[in-house]
Amino acid sequence: MLELYTHPMSPCAQKVRIVLAEKNLDWQKHHVNLQEKKNLEPEYLKLNPLGVVPTLVEHGQAIIESSIICEYLDDAYPEPTLRPADPYQRSTMRYWMKHVDVKLHPSCGTIQWPMVMREALMSKPEAERDKILARIPEKPRRERQMRLVKFGLDAPDVADAVRTYRKTIVDMEEILTTRQWVASDQFSLADICLAPYFQTLHQFNWTALFDQDCPNVADWFARCQQRPSYQTAVAADFPETLNNELREKGTAAWSKIEVHLGNS
Ligand SMILES: N[C@@H](CCC(=O)N[C@@H](CS)C(=O)NCC(=O)O)C(=O)O
């Protein structure tokens, strides 16, 4: 049985859940409470030394890093394939997966973290909060999270994060004039790895980043959302009450995002 350590709002975990759904695989869920930083407990760090979700466990072996997990699943369960056969198209797919890992993911964390993770930490006494954050294994992530807890969406990181999002969207708009999906005319891991980062914009009502002047991206995201895999793996975790709450929070915070758009 495949086991996945996951959190409903983690775009990295959503990627993996979409792959599992596309392949119609059964799996067992282990919820990791990120708000309470259960990801930094010694027991979890044994599975994932970076202290992040997702972690996939199969045959008693832990597989970490969401893009690697996605490729592992496509290797282990090849049908239906989620990678183009053509080597150039496959390299394009991997380019986008790498872009997500290196650039879009930290940007998403920067704008999502103050909205959904900060409150639980702020409710703790400062000394306890600092102690928890000091346990984050990687220095850049640790320091970024410390700034995000302290300053929320006023942190200096937010401007760059919004610009990275917007540049990604503009680049996607261009390539989607030439093909149906991001890497080729075939739905692939590139689309799966990008789509959850648009869920973040959608849930906070921040879709003005793309839905006013990037019709190809808007259409691409609508097609991703319509897939049964997206419904099962992502949308099902957002019941109406949660959706309304996130939408309300996001709408109230939009001016802090929008202000950085003019400079992108
Ligand atoms: N490169 C990792 C990034 C994983 C990651 O940052 N996961 C986030 C949720 S999307 C997390 O667990 N954050 C917990 C924390 O930073 O405390 C991957 O792709 O798996």
What span, in angstroms and rounded, lies between the C-alpha atoms of 67 and 12? 8
Dihedral sign, CA of 188, 190, 194, 196? positive
What is residue 218's predicted lDDT score, i.e. its pLDDT?
A: 98
Q: Compute, in angstroms, the gap from residue 195 CA to the centroid of ligand 1.
A: 16
Domain 87-258 class? mainly alpha
Residue 24 three-state SS: coil
What is residue 35's predicted lDDT score, i.e. its pLDDT?
A: 87
The answer, yes or no, to whether any atom of ligand 1 lies below 6 A from the CB of 48, is no
The answer, yes or no, to whether any atom of ligand 1 lies below 6 A from the CB of 66, is yes
Tens digits of per-residue pLDDT, 116-167?
989 989 999 999 999 999 999 999 999 999 999 999 999 999 999 999 999 9
| Best probe residue, ligand 1, of 4, 16, 52 (max atoms within 8 Å of C-beta) | 52
Contact (Cβ atoms closer than 8 angstroms) between residue 4 and residue 55: yes
What span, in angstroms and rounded, lies between the C-alpha atoms of 17 and 21? 6
66: Cβ contacts below 8 Å, ≥ 6 apart? 12, 13, 15, 16, 54, 101, 193
Domain ranges for the chain: 2-76, 87-258
Dihedral sign, CA of 153, 154, 157, 158? positive
Q: Is the pTM of this model over 0.85?
A: yes
The answer, yes or no, to whether any atom of ligand 1 lies below 6 A from the CB of 101, is yes
Give the domain 2-76 fold: Glutaredoxin (3.40.30)
Q: Which alpha helices (H) appear in 34-137, and where do they start and end?
A: 42-47, 66-76, 87-99, 105-116, 118-122, 126-134
Nearest CA to ligand 1 atom 2: 65
Instruction: Please report where in the chains the tokens 């027991």 appear, as a residue.
Output: 43
Q: Which residues of the chain have pLDDT under 50?
A: none
Residue 212 three-state SS: coil
Burial label for 111, CB within 10 Å (0-12, 13-18, 19+), is buried
